[in-house]
């Protein structure tokens, strides 16, 4: 009985919330950042899977109760792990991921500067004898 | 009968491929003209045999021969004809046959258009392609036979995935595969150069048009995929950085670096070994893409039916083709000299910078795509890497490349004068900065990223036009480059303005309700049932007005495909030069109401328009007359002397 | 110099891809293993006027099996669940997930009821708290109420014999 009461409240909540565009935006903003676990790589916003609908309603419910965006994210991660986040968290296990591209860029720039230095056309230095010869030829 | 003939044709093609692979390569090494002469006829024979096999498969689909397993799994008698044809490449087996067909086509083209190449070069290129083809045909025949029969014969088929029942399906895979497979030609040229020991400007000149055309097809293929996702999936997105999307983008990034590197090798005989390495890597990324889509190693909406056993075969192909090329590379390039020198400010150094940035960007995308796999392999942990990550790492790496695009074409080869460049560029810089600072206000709020994007786009166009004015001799190649660069600018404008100013609204509507967004009013007039050949739909009619004046009528649908029991939404789009109106019908609610999503996408068609411009530019450049002429002896000697 | 790096990178990539072929990218391990089982109080399937809370099971190890009448793999694992329940190692409690009583009860009647009892999570809220994303899923919870193991997907005889039963034996020996 309690369960069906909760379900009714959810539906009512959803119906009522339809007229609140600001809340819709907040729910949508969170839903695009979270992954639908039963889909083949889709966000909670784009998926029609039952679990995705449930989780979107969860998000709405929590935001309406006053939770912050971070609270909702923590809620999801506590239950489903980091997998549910499309933006990988910055932690020890993702250090290589976040720093990698910039390390690659630094390496690339270093390689670029080295190549340019190696291929520099040396400015021609004439010896005294060559200079005389050039002068005579130019007369 | 016909499927068996198709299978027979493939088996014969495999034999021909092996012959084409072995004899010409051996012949080139031995200087045996007869053996080298096998290459061209073998290539044509292969192309014909594979085309015949492909025709057999298509025929089975067209006549609804459900005794063929592939037809039963992917088609249905209610499926319209053009989709039955497209369904022949809608599965793993069928699309692999399409790949082989494309390869046959490319081989035939190389055989036809290589009159100006030395015979040994042609023999080697076709020989390498023959081996690649043999690998794929073996994969097809031994693990993924599209002609397998099914007993007992089902009464009807399982139907094509509704998402694939679309014009995009007819054109996107063929175009994309033309690109993927085209890079095997660039790879073949590279390996042929390594085998002959002759890595010079002449080789670059021969290889360049082929590589550019492959790049053109890949550009179009990716653009078509993106456009198709936009209007087919119903949520208005056009790029998700999904692993399979990245799999096509990676060879594109490296391919772009390659066509620029080839320019340096052709003109100045420099970067020879680097260019060869890029060609190998570009094809490696094509193969990697194939692996990722078909092995089940990464999760993606695009992935075919998952089969790790097939993954092993593709991995073996990957190791064979790329491993052997890399060994050859290590051996042959260890003693190669540097080629022409150049100053720190010169076109060469700017093109090298272009390469560094593009390859770094590719590395970043590869890292993001494979990281979840690596983490799982090492620690068992699972993470997701989505668009938020890619956007953060990709944009800072590419933005400088976009800036350099303006400077490169104006810089001289070998030694460019910085003061001269500064004088040339200062008004372009001024115009770009002004555009970046002022233009965003025309569209809405000022955002830094929008300013940056617009400034870079204007910069690219301004400098491209400058290069037209400055040059004495206007060749097709130059026009092509200018057009392609302008295409990039147009693309950047599209991406910048859509990301900066798109808007959307979700609403629960009954007929009579109206939703306003950005000055446009969308009134739901009616929802009525409509039946398609193999689906039932609810079609809504929206009248769109702006300031009271009628703009258009839009009819989004929500379709139910009974055979696969799938529901999908077919968005209604009103395209426009300055933006699209986008309406999609969601779930039906109680009381005759419907969930509706309305979106406005400013300048989104500039994204694909820019890609089309890039492609036309590439074709223009590749058709330059100098690629069809043998290189003048004097320049060839000079280029070799510089080595 | 350069070629060595390229070849090394290539080799590393191939090894990674090879290993990748043995992994399953769709399986998401639970962060709840090692943490306290989330609290709930749900009506019993057979007697909805009565409720059950996970606290009621403190003091002994038990198995929570998430199932539904609309779920075909649940039917596939049914014999394994039944065998596990019959082994007597631990009580098996069913969590009837997003189902209707009118469908769940006949399903149990038709196929047999292996559970000590089932509780009804019609809205799926408790499922979310437990990180359920697919059905069936099975949790092993120890006497202190900590989740010790989660199995995603249908149970197989191998998993039951190789992982669940040894774990349950160990838990019953634990203080």
Task: Split chain B (643 residues) into runs of 10 and give each run's mean pLDDT.
Answer: 94 97 94 93 97 96 93 90 91 93 96 91 96 96 92 88 82 93 96 90 91 97 93 87 94 97 91 93 95 86 77 94 94 78 89 96 97 93 94 96 93 87 90 94 91 96 90 83 96 95 90 92 93 91 92 93 86 94 89 91 96 97 81 52 48
- Band (A16; pLDDT cuts 50, 70, 90): very low
The answer to whether the beta carbons of residues B46 and B21 sit under 8 Å apart is no
Burial call B45-80: b when 16+ CB within 10 Å, e when fewer: bbbebbbbbbbbbbbbbeebbbebbbbbbbbbebbe
C140 has pLDDT over 90: yes
Q: Are C117 and C44 in contact (CB under 8 A)?
A: yes
Query: Do B557 and B539 contact (CB within 8 A), yes or no?
Result: yes
pLDDT value at residue B397: 96
Q: Is C13 part of any domain?
A: no
Confidence (pLDDT) at B630:
64
Both A71 and A102 in one domain: the answer is: no
Question: Do B389 and A87 make contact, defined as CB atoms within 8 angstroms?
Answer: yes
**C-alpha distances out from residue B203 to B181, B189, B262, B627, C20, Å:** 20, 8, 9, 11, 38
The pLDDT score that the predictor gives to residue A124 is 67
Quote the distance between the C-alpha of residue B260 and its chain's center.
Answer: 17
Same domain, A77 and A98: no
Instruction: Quote the minimal CA–CA distance from B299 to chain C in Å.
Output: 6
**Are B202 and B636 within 8 A, CB to CB?**
yes
Say how many C-beta atoms besides its own lie within 10 A of residue C42's C-beta: 21
Chain A's closest residue to C47, CA to CA, is: A1
pLDDT at position A125 is 66
Per-residue burial over C93-119, b = 16 or more CB atoms within 10 Å of its CB, e = otherwise: bbbbbbbeeeebbebbeeeebbbeebb
- Give which of B5, B28, B24 is closest to B16, Cα–Cα: B24
| C5 in any annotated domain | no
Alpha carbons within 13 A on the beta-carbon side of B632 = 5
How many domains does the structure of chain A reveal? 2
Mean pLDDT along residues A88-99: 94
Pair (A68, A17) in one structural domain: yes
- Over residues C133-159, the mean pLDDT reads 93
Q: How far apart are CA B335 and CA B331, in angstroms?
A: 8
- Same domain for A30 and A80: yes
CATH of the domain at C127: 3.40.30.10
Q: Say if C11 falls within a structural domain.
A: no
Sign of the alpha-carbon torsion through C26, C29, C32, C37? positive
Q: Which of B266, B28, B8 is nearest to B126 (CA)?
A: B28
Q: Are residues A79 and A124 in the same domain?
A: no
- What residue numbers bound the domain in which C98 lies? 30-173
At C1 the pLDDT is 47
Report the pLDDT averaged over residues C146-153. 93
Q: Is residue C10 part of a domain?
A: no
CA distance B620 to B474: 12
Residues of C in contact with B277 (CB under 8 A): 6
Q: Which among C7, C14, C20 is the nearest to B297, CB-wise?
A: C20
Helices (H), B439-475: 440-443, 448-470
C-chain residues within 8 Å CB-CB of A7? 122-123
The subunits that touch chain C, with at least 3 C-beta pairs less than 8 Å apart, are A, B
| CA atoms of B276 and B204, how far apart (whole Å) | 9
| C16 located within any domain | no
Whether residue B373 and residue C10 make contact (CB cut-off 8 A), yes or no, is: no
B539: β partners: B528, B557
Q: How far apart are CA B20 and CA B39, in angstroms?
A: 6
**How far C98 CA sits from the closest chain A CA (Å)?**
10
Q: Is the ipTM of this complex over 0.90?
A: no
Instruction: Say if strands B594-602 and C41-43 run parallel, antiparallel, or are unpaired.
Output: unpaired
CB of B591 within 8 Å of a chain A CB? The answer is no
Domain carrying residue A72: 2-84
Contact A101 B303 (CB under 8 A): no
Domain count, chain C: 1
What is the reported pLDDT for C63?
95
Partner-chain contact B334 C3, CB within 8 Å: yes
- pLDDT classification of A2: cutoffs 50, 70, 90: very low
Q: Smallest CA–CA separation between C93 and chain B, in Å?
A: 29
- Do A66 and A11 reside in the same domain of the chain? yes
Instruction: Please give the pLDDT value at position B254.
Output: 98
Average pLDDT (A62-75) is 93
Report yes or no on C6 lying in a domain.
no
Q: How confident is the model at residue C116, as a pLDDT?
A: 92
Q: Are A60 and A11 in contact (CB under 8 A)?
A: no
For residue C63, being part of any structural domain is answered with yes
- Domain C-terminal end among A84, A108, A123: A84
Question: What size, in residues, is chain A?
Answer: 139
Instruction: Determine the straight-line distance between the first and last CA of chain A, rounded to whole angstroms.
Output: 112
**A8 band by pLDDT with thresholds 50, 70 and 90:** very low
At B472 the pLDDT is: 66
Closest approach of A73 to chain B, Cα-based (Å): 14
Is the model's pLDDT at A131 over the cut of 80? no
- The pTM of this model reads 0.91
């Amino acid at each position: 009985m309690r369960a069906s009461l909760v379900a009714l409240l959810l539906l009512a909540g959803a119906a009522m919330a339809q007229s609140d565009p600001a809340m819709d935006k907040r729910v949508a903003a969170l839903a695009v950042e979270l992954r639908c676990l039963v889909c083949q790589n889709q966000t909670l916003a784009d998926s029609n899977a039952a679990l995705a609908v449930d989780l979107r309603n969860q998000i709405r419910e929590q935001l309406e109760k006053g939770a912050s965006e971070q609270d909702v994210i923590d809620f999801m991660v506590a239950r489903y792990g980091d997998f549910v986040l499309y933006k990988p968290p910055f932690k020890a296990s993702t250090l290589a991921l976040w720093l990698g591209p910039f390390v690659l860029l630094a390496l690339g720039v270093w390689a670029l500067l080295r190549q340019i230095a190696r291929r520099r056309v040396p400015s021609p230095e004439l010896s005294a004898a060559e200079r005389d010869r050039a002068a005579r030829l130019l007369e | 009968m016909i499927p068996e003939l198709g299978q027979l044709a493939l088996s014969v093609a495999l034999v021909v491929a092996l012959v084409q692979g072995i004899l010409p390569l051996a012949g080139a090494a031995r200087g045996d003209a007869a053996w080298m002469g096998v290459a061209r006829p073998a290539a044509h024979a292969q192309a014909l045999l594979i085309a015949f096999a492909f025709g057999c498969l298509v025929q089975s689909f067209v006549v609804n021969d459900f005794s063929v397993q592939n037809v039963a799994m992917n088609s249905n008698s209610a499926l319209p004809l053009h989709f039955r044809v497209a369904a022949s490449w809608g599965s793993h087996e069928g699309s692999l046959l399409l790949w082989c067909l494309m390869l046959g086509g490319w081989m035939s083209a190389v055989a036809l258009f290589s009159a100006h190449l030395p015979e040994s070069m042609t023999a080697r290129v076709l020989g390498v392609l023959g081996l690649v083809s043999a690998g794929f045909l073996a994969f097809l025949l031994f693990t993924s036979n599209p002609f397998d029969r099914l007993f007992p014969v089902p009464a009807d088929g399982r139907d094509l995935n509704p998402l694939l029942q679309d014009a995009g399906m007819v054109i996107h895979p063929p175009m994309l595969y033309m690109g993927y497979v085209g890079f095997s030609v660039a790879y073949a040229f590279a390996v042929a150069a390594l085998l002959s020991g002759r890595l010079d400007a002449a080789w670059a000149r021969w290889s360049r048009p082929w590589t550019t055309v492959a790049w053109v097809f890949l550009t179009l293929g990716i653009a078509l995929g993106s456009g198709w996702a936009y209007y087919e999936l119903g949520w208005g997105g056009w790029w998700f950085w999904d692993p399979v999307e990245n799999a096509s983008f990676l060879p594109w990034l490296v391919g772009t670096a390659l066509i620029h590197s080839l320019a340096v090798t052709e003109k100045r005989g420099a970067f020879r070994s680097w260019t060869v390495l890029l060609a190998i890597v570009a094809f490696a990324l094509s193969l990697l893409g194939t692996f990722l889509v078909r092995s089940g190693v990464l999760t993606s909406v695009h992935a075919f039916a998952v089969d790790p056993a097939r993954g092993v075969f593709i991995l073996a192909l990957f190791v064979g083709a790329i491993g052997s090329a890399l060994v050859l590379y290590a051996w042959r390039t260890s003693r190669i000299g540097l080629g022409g020198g150049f100053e720190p400010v010169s076109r060469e150094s700017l093109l090298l910078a272009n390469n560094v940035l593009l390859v770094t960007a590719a590395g970043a995308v590869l890292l993001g795509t494979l990281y979840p796999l690596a983490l799982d392999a090492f620690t068992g942990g699972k993470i997701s890497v989505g668009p938020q990550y890619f956007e953060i790492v990709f944009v800072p790496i590419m933005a400088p490349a976009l800036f350099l695009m303006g400077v490169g074409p104006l810089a001289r080869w070998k030694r460019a004068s910085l003061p001269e460049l500064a004088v040339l560029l200062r008004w372009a810089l001024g115009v770009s900065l002004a555009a970046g600072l002022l233009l965003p206000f025309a569209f809405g709020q000022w955002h830094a990223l929008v300013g940056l994007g617009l400034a870079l786009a204007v910069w690219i166009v301004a400098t491209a036009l400058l290069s037209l004015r400055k040059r004495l001799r206007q060749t097709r190649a130059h026009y092509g480059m200018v057009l392609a660069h302008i295409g990039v600018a147009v693309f950047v404008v599209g991406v910048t303005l859509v990301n900066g100013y798109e808007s959307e609204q979700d609403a629960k509507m009954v007929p009579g309700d109206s939703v306003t967004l950005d000055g446009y009013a969308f009134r739901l007039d009616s929802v009525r049932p409509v039946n398609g050949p193999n689906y039932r739909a609810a079609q809504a009619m929206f009248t769109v007005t702006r300031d009271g004046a009628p703009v258009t009528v839009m009819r989004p649908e929500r379709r139910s495909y009974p055979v696969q029991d799938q529901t999908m939404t077919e968005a209604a789009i009103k395209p426009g030069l300055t933006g699209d109106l986008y309406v999609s019908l969601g779930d039906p609610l109680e009381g005759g109401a419907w969930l509706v999503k309305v979106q406005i996408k400013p300048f989104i068609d500039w994204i694909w328009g820019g890609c089309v411009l890039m492609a036309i530019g590439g074709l223009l450049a590749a058709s330059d007359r100098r690629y069809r002429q043998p290189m003048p002896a004097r320049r060839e000697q000079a280029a070799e002397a510089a080595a | 110099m350069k070629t060595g790096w390229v070849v090394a990178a290539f080799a590393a990539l191939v090894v990674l891809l090879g290993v990748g072929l043995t992994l399953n990218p769709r399986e998401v391990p639970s962060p709840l293993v090692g943490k306290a089982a989330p609290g709930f109080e749900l009506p019993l399937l057979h007697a909805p006027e009565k409720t059950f809370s996970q606290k009621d099971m403190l003091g002994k190890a038990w198995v929570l099996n998430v199932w539904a009448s609309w779920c075909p793999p649940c039917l596939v694992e049914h014999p394994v669940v039944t065998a596990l329940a019959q082994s007597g190692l631990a009580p098996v409690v069913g969590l009837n997930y997003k189902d209707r009583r009118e469908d769940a009860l006949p399903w149990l009647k038709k196929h047999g009821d292996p559970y000590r009892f089932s509780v009804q999570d019609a809205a799926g809220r408790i499922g979310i708290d437990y990180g359920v994303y697919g059905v069936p899923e099975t949790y092993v919870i120890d006497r202190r109420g900590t989740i010790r193991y989660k199995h995603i997907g249908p149970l197989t005889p191998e998993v039951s014999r190789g992982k669940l039963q040894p774990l349950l034996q160990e838990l019953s020996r634990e203080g």
